[in-house]
Amino acid sequence: MKAAIVTIGDEILIGQIVDTNSSYIAKALDKIGIATHEMLSISDDKQHILNTLESLQNKVEVVVVTGGLGPTKDDITKKTFCEYFDDELIENDAVLAHVKSIIEGIYKRPITQINRDQALVPTKAKVLFNQVGTAPGMWLEKENTIFVSLPGVPYEMKYLVDNELIPNLVQKFKRPYILHQTIMTYGRGESMLAEQIEEWENNLPNFIKLAYLPSPGKVRLRLTARGENEDVLKTEMERQVKMLDVLIHDVIVGYNEDEPIEVVLGRLLTEQGLTIATAESCTGGKIASTLAAVSGASNYFKGSIVSYATQTKIDVLGIDETIINSNGVVSAEVAKAMAISAQKRLNSDYAIATTGNAGPTKGDEVAELGTVFIGIATPREVFVEEFNFGQPREKVIDRAVSKGLELIYKEILKK
């Protein structure tokens, strides 16, 4: 089965907001065996919407449209749907009662005609009831295609996808099974990984496909299995993952796309009752923010000293000025001193320190552009590794963050 996802809104086309709705809908559809064939973003224009609906008619089984269901005049999706389906709008009593309960019961103000108009739906539509907002979803069918219209507000869209759209699709269609397994790897590039697992990849069964999803410092390997027998898919997927683990065990940090290394690291620290701190220069606190973004980080993350300026390294971290003068601020010696200071001052078991020349200009630094020194302090030792992450600046910072987390994760595993 195939689906198309259409987002309506000039605000998306001019870059004013980022379209996160499409990715959420695509993931939800994929989980029930419906592949997204096409994603489109179109303007708030009646003819553009009509042309889009017509172009997708009978091309896919499901078209999911988001946006344009608000109460103002620029929200034209409902009226345009009526024109496409040769229909008219009527007031839905259940939706109206719900709108009243929100406007009068929660907002404590009289309902207006604009609010009442939210309860208007096409006569041919199956209403997808929106418990968390005033705009209902709409399900209409024409020939071989189902058209579903959802509000563009993300939390309302998510509620309707999870509680209305997906259950209705599951009930209506018999679908193939689709299984995904993501293997998270750190510290080895895409080409090196591909070379290492080439023979294994070449011998994958034809119903399992491998995709490489690289980003700075890490590569996600996504296995996708499709077929009619779920048990067969699960058994073979498990077998292939075990074979892969034997080949690249040293760079695998997890098996869940929703669990990046900072989540896996946090769980490891919590389980072992350990703590961590950071002292950052070139990464500007990004390692700290990455750690702190994980729920429960207060159990193990002691804090960070962002010593971006050289004088801050001296005044706050207490680094001997002669070390900086003798070796340069971007040096192994400074990274080591920063890691030791963070560990001591924040009273942590482990510490990560970064100092580097991220660019885009070299300035007065001796170190080449892209050079980063990462210091790791453990209860047993302190060591520093040097890297050159190239350019541009954003790539250097992102790769330094990934490499720092990878190094500390591997050290804790040795404990």
Tell me the pLDDT tens digit for each residue of 205-218: 999 999 999 988 88
Same domain, 317 and 365: yes
Q: What is the pLDDT of residues 356-372, one digit of tens each?
A: 999 888 766 678 899 99
Q: What is the pLDDT of residues 110-143, one digit of tens each?
A: 999 988 999 999 999 999 999 999 999 999 999 9
Assess contact for 73 and 66: CB atoms under 8 A: no
Same domain, 154 and 236: no
- Is the pLDDT at 144 greater than 80, yes or no? yes
Same domain, 313 and 386: yes
356: closest CA among 339, 341, 338, 373?
Answer: 373
Same domain, 168 and 186: no
| Final residue belonging to a domain, choices 202, 232, 254 | 254
> 116 by DSSP, 3-state: which?
helix
Same domain, 238 and 277: no
- Report the mean per-residue pLDDT for the chain: 93
> What range defines the domain where residue 206 resides?
177-254
**pLDDT reported for residue 363:** 64
Instruction: Return the axis-axis angle of helices 393-414 and 261-272, rounded to nearest 10°.
Output: 30
**pLDDT reported for residue 254:** 85
Tell me, what CATH number does 156's domain have?
Answer: 3.40.980.10
For residues 159 and 33, give the distance between their C-alpha atoms in angstroms, rounded to a whole number. Answer: 20
Band of residue 74 on the pLDDT scale cut at 50, 70, 90: low
384: closest CA among 338, 348, 322?
Answer: 338
Tell me, what CATH number does 204's domain have?
Answer: 3.30.70.2860
Phi, psi (deg, nearest 5) at residue 148: -120, 130
| Final residue belonging to a domain, choices 119, 141, 172 | 172
C-alpha neighbours within 13 Å on the C-beta side of residue 338:
33
- Is the pLDDT at 316 greater than 80, yes or no? yes
Q: What pTM was computed for the model?
A: 0.68
Q: What is the pLDDT of residues 320-354, one digit of tens each?
A: 999 999 999 999 999 999 999 999 999 999 999 99
Based on the structure, what is the number of domains in the chain? 3
Average pLDDT over residues 83-109: 93
Going 82 to 87 to 91 to 93, the CA torsion angle's sign is negative
Both structure tokens of 166: 């997906």
Same domain, 230 and 295: no
Same domain, 196 and 273: no
Band of residue 34 on the pLDDT scale cut at 50, 70, 90: very high
Q: E strands, 240-325, where?
A: 252-254, 276-280, 301-306
| Final residue belonging to a domain, choices 119, 140, 172 | 172
Same domain, 312 and 241: no
